[in-house]
Amino acid sequence: MSQSIHNIVKNLNLPEPVEKYSAVTGGDINQAFHVYTHSYSFFLLVQQDATRQFFSHEVAGLKALGKFAKTPQVLDFGDNSQDAYLLLEYIDHLPHGNQYELGQALAKVHQSTSPNQQFGFDSNFELGNFTGDNQWQDNWYDFFVNQRFEPLRKLIIHNHNGSVELEHLYQNMLQQFQHDLANHQSIPSLLHGDLWGGNIMFDLDQHPVFIDPAVYYGDREFDIAITQVFGGFDQNFIQGYQDTYPLDDGYQDRLVYYKLYYMMFHLSEFGSIYQPSVYRLLQQFI
């Protein structure tokens, strides 16, 4: 481990001296560490070659979600002039838990709407090479096309040489997206923003814990769609959600747009292994 990591750990403002720390695997964006003192343990995230600003949106997101659902407590964040860090409470967890309660918890998050009734957030988020532009907008279609789809399309063209076929399919999708949203009222709900199975934990009492958010206020169907991309959410989850805050009729047909966004992000970030998934989703709009 680098000297920079050692310096960050050594200078953490903790109630007791650090006895040891170890790397935690599984993160794509940040380095992660489990930090131990004699009586406590903590979770440390480090982003190399960044300032404390890198974690400011995640801190805001955890605090926003924490008003309505369980999240790790933010203890500190900053930088050592080389790397940024975020220190969180460590939550002992189980691989599985109460999915019905998870659905209820997400529904309660979504029942919180933006104070200005617009779509966006007061700060942007960074996911790898993609910046989530959260500038406030009155219209959900304009927000999602101009601040989600278009930046990803440009990244894909830059990184993977987009094709005429891809562009044709993409433009056809945008027309269908506009048509489908015309018959649906989008409400600016508080979103987790990156709700795949790896960003949910269950504590030792099987209660859900939300981690690694990329929050903004948007159509709640976005979060629901992301839960269906890589698995980890079962029928009890959606039942708990529906019993708390029922989704609008036809929601299943609109989820494909947000699944496409997620596959476009993965294509832009992780390469051509995700290209067949992007094409398959786009071809649904022919």
Residues labelled as active-site residues: 194
Q: Is the sign of the CA dihedral 163, 167, 173, 176 positive or negative?
A: negative
213, 194 contact by CB (below 8 A):
yes
Q: Which of 216, 217, 220 is nearest to 185 (CA)?
A: 220
Q: How far apart are the C-alpha atoms of 80 and 49, rounded to whole Å?
A: 10
Q: What is the DSSP letter of 248?
A: P
Q: Is the sign of the CA dihedral 48, 51, 52, 58 positive or negative?
A: negative
State residue 89 phi and psi, 5-degree precision. Answer: -65, 145
Where does the chain show beta strands of DSSP type E?
Answer: 18-24, 31-37, 41-47, 74-79, 84-89, 93-94, 125-127, 130-132, 189-191, 200-203, 208-210, 216-218
Strand-pairing partners, residue 191, are 216
67, 112 contact by CB (below 8 A):
yes
Strand-pairing partners, residue 36, are 20, 41
Determine the distance from the C-alpha atom of residue 285 to the mean position of all C-alpha atoms in its chain, rounded to a whole number. Answer: 26
24, 48 contact by CB (below 8 A):
no
